[in-house]
Structure 1
Amino acid sequence: MYKNMRGRPGAVLAAVSLAQFLVALDMSVVNVALPAIRSSLGFTPVGLSWVVHAYALTFGGFLLLGGRAGDLFGRRRLFVAGLVAFGAASLAGGLAQAPWQLVAARAAQGVAAAALAPAALAALTVAFPEGPARVRALGVWSGVNAAGGALGVLAGGLLTGYAGWRWVMLVNLPIVALTLALAAAVPADVRGARRDRLDMPGAVLATGGAGLLVLGVVRTERVGWSSGATLATLGAAAVLLAAFAAVELRSSSPLVRPGLLRSRWVAGANAFVFLAAAGQFAAFYFVSLYMQQVLGMGAAATGAAFLPFSFGTVAGVALATRIGAGRSPRASLVPGGLLATAGFAWFGLVDPAGGFVSDVLGPSLVASVGLGLCLGPVAAAATTGVAPREAGTASGVLNSSRQLGGCVGLAALATLAADRTGAAATPQALSAGYALALQVTAALFLLATAVAITVLPSRRRAVPAAPTDLPAPAGADIETETEGARS
C-alpha cells in the first residue's frame, strides 16, 4: 500500500523541483524591477518596499499552517491548489494598475507558496525512502532551489530591461502550467486519522505570531529596532508564539506535535537552517550592494555576477550527493558549513579598492560550494525518521525556520552595517559596513556548523519519529514504519 503512494519518482522529482524553483524565483525576481515598478504604478518609497515584504510576510506567516494542512487534507490536493493560486496571483500582479493591487497579488503569492513549498518537500520525502535515493533526490531539489534564488536576480534584470516589469510576474505562468501537468505524479495523499482535525486555535496563534514577527523585523529598516512600533509588534509576536506553544502542549491534534521537535534530527536541522539563512539572505543583499554602490556595476551586470555562485552551489550539491550516500547528513553539513564560513569570511575583506575577481568571484566560488554541500543534507536531516503523515508538518517547520532566519538576519545585519557606515555614504564607509555584516555572516555559518557537530547524531537511525500520541490512519502506520526501518 505504502509503495503505491510513491507515484512515479522521476516525475514527482520534476514536479516538486519546478515548484520549489517557482517559490525561490519569486523571492528575488522583483528586486531589480522595483525602480521600474515605482515609475509605472506611482509607488511611494515606503510603499514600494511592500512589493517585497508582502510576499515575505504571508509566506513566513502561513508556512506552519500550510504544512499541517497538507498532512490532514492531502498533500497532492494542497500542491495543486497552491499552484493554481500562485498562477492566479501572478496573473493579477502582472495586470495590476494600482500599487495596492500589486501588493495584494504579492501577498496572495506568499500564501500560495506557503501551501506549495511544504507539500512539495513532503511529496518528495514520501516518494523517495530514506537512504541514497532520497539523498540524490534532495540533491536535485536543492540545486534547483539554489538556481531559482540566484537566477531570479538575473531574470529580473533581463525581463525588466527587454520585456517590461510586468513579466517578472507573468513569467510564472508557463512554469505553473508545466508543473500542473506533472502534478498527477505526486504520491497519493496520506491523510490523518478520521478524528484528526486542524488545530484552529494553534493555526491562528502560529500564523499571527509568525506574521507579526516578520512584520516587526522587516519594518526595522524604516523605523529602527528601538522604536515603540517595533517593540510593540515584536512583543505581540512573542506573546502569540508563547500562547501557541501552550496550546500545542494541550491539543489532541496539534499543528506541530511537540514530540516532533524533540527529535535531534529535526531540532538540529532547523537550528542549522535558521542560522545559515540569517547569514545567506544578508550576504546576497550586501554583496549585491557592494558590486553596485562600490564597484559601480550596473543591475544587469550584478545579476550576471551571481551566476558563478549558482554554478558553485550546483557543484556543491553534486558533491554532497556523492558524500551522502550511506552516511549521516552531518558528513556533508560539517565540511560544507566550514567551507561556507571560509567563503563568507573572505567576502568580509571587501574594500573600496577591491575588484570583481578578488572580492566577489573568489569568495563566491568557495562560499557557494560550501552552501551547496549543506542544502540537500539539511533537508534530509529535517525529515529523517519522520513518519509520512507528518512529512508536511516537518517540511513546513523547515521552511519556516529558513524564512524567519532570513528575515531576522537581513534586518539585524542591515542595522549593524548602517551603524558602521554612519552618515557618510562614501565608498570607504559603505565598504566598512558591508564588510562587518559579511564577517558576522561567516560567524553565523560557523555557529551553524557547531550545531551540526553537537546536536545532529553521527549516524542515521532509521527509526521513524512517529507520533505515539495520535491515532494512525487505518493500515498506513505499520507499513510506513516498516519501510522506514528497511531504509
Structure 2
Amino acid sequence: MSGRAWGVLFVLCGAIFLEGVDVAMLNVALPSIRADLGLSTGMLQWVMSAYVLGYGGFMLLGGRAADLFGRRRMFLFWLTVFLLFSGLGGLATEGWMLIVARFVTGVAAAFMTPAGLSIITTGFAEGPQRNKALLVYSGTAAGGFSIGLVVGGLLASADWRWVFFAPVILSSLILVAGAVLIPEPARPERAGRSVDAAGAVSVTAAILLLVFAIERAGHEPAGTTALTVAAALALFAVFVLIERKAAAPLVRLSIFRNGGLVRANIAGLLFAAGFFGFQFIVVLHLQELRGWSTLETSFAMIVIGVDAILSPTLTPKLVQRFGNARVIFGGLLLATLSYALMLPLGPDWTYPMMFPSLIILGLAFSLAYGPLTIVATEGVEEDEQGVAGGLLYTSFQFGAALGLSSATTVLTAATDGTGDAAVLDGHRAALFVPLVAAALAALVSAFGLRAKPAAAPAEAATATAPVPEPLDTAR
C-alpha cells in the first residue's frame, strides 16, 4: 500500500478506535455520573440505552446513506456531529441533557461507522490488500474498547466530564486528518439518486422498537416486551413489502442470497451476544462480589485487548493459509472454550485462575471479528458496500443488546437470596448465556467450511482486470 493509503487507513482506524473507547469509558464512569448528577437507576440506564438506540436504530440507514450521498462526505459530516455532541454531554447539568447528547452521538456513530468501513471495502482491492486493511481496522476497534476501560477509569477518578471531553480532542484530530487525507471521489457522483423514504422510515422504526425491546427486557413487564417485539416484526414485514416494489430500494433483498453475508451476520450477532454478556457478568462478579475497584477491574479485563495486537499480525497469516471460514470457526470454538472454563467460578478463585479464560477470549476475538467483517462484505457490489457494513454493525449491536439483556434476566432469576452464595449462583447461571451463544455461532459458521468463497463483481474478478489504486473509488 502507498503512504497515502496507509494515512487514510490510519484516519479510519482512529475513528473506529474513537467509537470503541467512547463506549468503554462511559461504562466505567457511570457510578461517578450517577453520584454527581443524582440520577435514578432508571435514568442511569437510559444514559446507556439512548446511545444503543441511536446507534443500532440508524445503522442500516447510515450504511445506505454512505452509498447514496458519498462515503467521504457522510464520514466527515457525522464525525463532526459526534464531536459536538460528545462535548455537549460533558457540559450536561441534568440527566435529560446527557441522555439527548448520547442519543445523537449514537446516531452520528451509526452514520459514521459504516461510511468508514465502506471507504476501506471500496478503496482497497479485494483480496490480500483489503483483508490486511480490514484486519488492522478490526484490531484497532478491539483496542479502543480494551484501552477505554482503563482510560475511562483514570479519567473518571479525576472528573467524569473528561470521559466526554477526551473524545472531542481525539475526534478533532481525526477530522482534520480525514479532511486532508481522504480523497474526493475519483469519479463524479451519479445523478438522479433517490431515497427510499418509506423503506427508511419503516426499517428504522422497526429496528428502534426491536433494540428498545431487547434493551429494556429486564426492566419492563413481559407483556410490554412481547407487544413491542410484535410491533417491530410487523414493521419489518411492511419494510419487506415496500422493498419488493420500490424502484430504488433501501436494501436490495437479493443481497441476502449471499450465503457468506448471511452467515457472517448471524454468527456476528451471536458472537457479540456472548462477548458482551460475558464481560458484563465478569465485571459484576469482580466489583460486586469480590469488591474490586473500577480501575482494578479495568486492568484485569485489559488482557482481552491482546486482540488489538494479534488481529493485524497473526490473523492475516492464518487467513492467508487457512481461509476466512476456518479461522472464524476456530475463533468461535475458542470463545466457547473460554466461557466453559469460567463455569466452575468459585468464591475463592484468584485472578490467575480466571486468566486463561480471559486470554483465550482475546485470541478468539482476534480470530473471529476481522474475518467476519471480510466475509460480510466480500463479493458485494461496490454501490452496496455501505449497506453491507450497516447490516453487519446492526447485527453486532443487536447481539450486544441481546447478550446483555439475556445475561441480566438469567442472573436475576437465578439469584435466590441476598447472600454471597446466592449472588455467585446467579453469576454461574448467567455464564451459560455466552456459552450457548458462542456454541450456536460456531455451529452457524461451520456451514461456511464447505461453501465456496463469494464471487467478486464480474469484471473485477477477471484475471486481466486492472488492480485499482487504493482509495481511488472512496466516495
Structure 1 residue 120: Cα displacement: 0.7
TM norm structure 2: 0.93
Q: Given that residues 403 and 433 in structure 2 are in contact (C-alpha distance below 8 angstroms), is that contact kept between their aligned partners in structure 1?
A: no
Partner of residue 240, structure 2: 245
- Pair 1:8 & 2:1 matched: no
Partner of residue 151, structure 1: 147
Partner of residue 260, structure 2: 265
- Pair 1:232 & 2:201 matched: no
- Pair 1:200 & 2:197 matched: yes
Count of residue pairs the alignment pairs up: 465
Q: Given that residues 316 and 370 in structure 1 are in contact (C-alpha distance below 8 angstroms), is that contact kept between their aligned partners in structure 2?
A: no
Partner of residue 453, structure 1: 446
Q: 1:288 aligns with which of 279, 283, 293?
A: 283
Report the Cα distance in structure 1 between the residues aligned to 2:463 and 2:370, rounded to whole angstroms.
21
- Pair 1:43 & 2:36 matched: no
Q: 2:65 aligns with which of 54, 66, 69?
A: 69
Report the Cα distance in structure 1 between the residues aligned to 2:55 and 2:31, rounded to whole angstroms.
23
Q: Find the residue that maps to 1:222 and give its secondary structure.
A: coil
Q: Structure 1 309/127 Cα, relative in aligned 2: closer, same or farther at 3 Å? A: same
Q: Structure 1 485/372 Cα, relative in aligned 2: closer, same or farther at 3 Å? A: farther
Q: 1:328 aligns with which of 323, 333, 341?
A: 323
For residues 249-298 of structure 1, give each alpha carbon's deviation from its aligned partner in whole angstroms, at most 9, with x where no partner exists. 22111111111111011111101101101111111100111111222211
Q: Given that residues 462 and 485 in structure 1 are in contact (C-alpha distance below 8 angstroms), is that contact kept between their aligned partners in structure 2?
A: no
Structure 1 residue 191: Cα displacement: 7.9
Partner of residue 390, structure 2: 396
Q: Given that residues 293 and 427 in structure 1 are in contact (C-alpha distance below 8 angstroms), is that contact kept between their aligned partners in structure 2?
A: no
Structure 1 residue 393: Cα displacement: 0.8
Partner of residue 210, structure 1: 207
Q: Find the residue that maps to 1:87 and give its secondary structure.
A: helix
User: Structure 1, unaligned stretches of length 5 or more?
Assistant: 467-477
**Matched letter for residue 62 of structure 2:** G
Q: Structure 1 169/45 Cα, relative in aligned 2: closer, same or farther at 3 Å? A: same
**Matched letter for residue 435 of structure 1:** R
**Matched letter for residue 351 of structure 1:** G
Report the Cα distance in structure 1 between the residues aligned to 2:105 and 2:466, rounded to whole angstroms.
39
- Pair 1:277 & 2:272 matched: yes
Report the Cα distance in structure 1 between the residues aligned to 2:303 and 2:50, rounded to whole angstroms.
30
Q: Given that residues 135 and 325 in structure 1 are in contact (C-alpha distance below 8 angstroms), is that contact kept between their aligned partners in structure 2?
A: no
Partner of residue 373, structure 2: 379
Q: Structure 1 19/313 Cα, relative in aligned 2: closer, same or farther at 3 Å? A: closer
Structure 1 residue 341: Cα displacement: 1.0
For residues 139-165 of structure 1, give each alpha carbon's deviation from its aligned partner in whole angstroms, at most 9, with x where no partner exists. 211111111112222122110102x01
Report the Cα distance in structure 1 between the residues aligned to 2:135 and 2:464, rounded to whole angstroms.
20
Partner of residue 118, structure 2: 122
**Matched letter for residue 362 of structure 2:** S
Report the Cα distance in structure 2 between the residues aligned to 1:237 and 1:484, rounded to whole angstroms.
47
Report the Cα distance in structure 1 between the residues aligned to 2:3 and 2:192, rounded to whole angstroms.
27
Report the Cα distance in structure 2 between the residues aligned to 1:482 and 1:371, rounded to whole angstroms.
33
Partner of residue 23, structure 1: 19
Q: Find the residue that maps to 2:195 and give its secondary structure.
A: coil
For residues 13-70 of structure 1, give each alpha carbon's deviation from its aligned partner in whole angstroms, at most 9, with x where no partner exists. 1111111111112222112211221222222221111111100011000000000000
Partner of residue 469, structure 1: none
Q: Given that residues 20 and 145 in structure 1 are in contact (C-alpha distance below 8 angstroms), is that contact kept between their aligned partners in structure 2?
A: yes
Partner of residue 347, structure 2: 352
**Matched letter for residue 392 of structure 1:** G
Report the Cα distance in structure 1 between the residues aligned to 2:346 and 2:244, rounded to whole angstroms.
51
Partner of residue 475, structure 1: none
Q: Given that residues 462 and 484 in structure 1 are in contact (C-alpha distance below 8 angstroms), is that contact kept between their aligned partners in structure 2?
A: no
Report the Cα distance in structure 2 between the residues aligned to 1:486 and 1:457, rounded to whole angstroms.
30
Structure 1 residue 432: Cα displacement: 2.0
TM norm structure 1: 0.91
For residues 114-144 of structure 1, give each alpha carbon's deviation from its aligned partner in whole angstroms, at most 9, with x where no partner exists. 0110001101112221211122111211111
Identical pairs, percent: 35
Q: Given that residues 73 and 191 in structure 1 are in contact (C-alpha distance below 8 angstroms), is that contact kept between their aligned partners in structure 2?
A: no
User: Structure 2, unaligned stretches of length 5 or more?
Assistant: 468-475
Q: 2:433 aligns with which of 425, 428, 440?
A: 440
Q: Given that residues 92 and 105 in structure 1 are in contact (C-alpha distance below 8 angstroms), is that contact kept between their aligned partners in structure 2?
A: yes
Structure 1 residue 455: Cα displacement: 3.8
What's the Cα RMSD here?
2.2
Q: Given that residues 199 and 242 in structure 2 are in contact (C-alpha distance below 8 angstroms), is that contact kept between their aligned partners in structure 1?
A: yes
Structure 1 residue 246: Cα displacement: 1.7
Q: Given that residues 61 and 207 in structure 1 are in contact (C-alpha distance below 8 angstroms), is that contact kept between their aligned partners in structure 2?
A: yes
Report the Cα distance in structure 2 between the residues aligned to 1:366 and 1:249, rounded to whole angstroms.
44
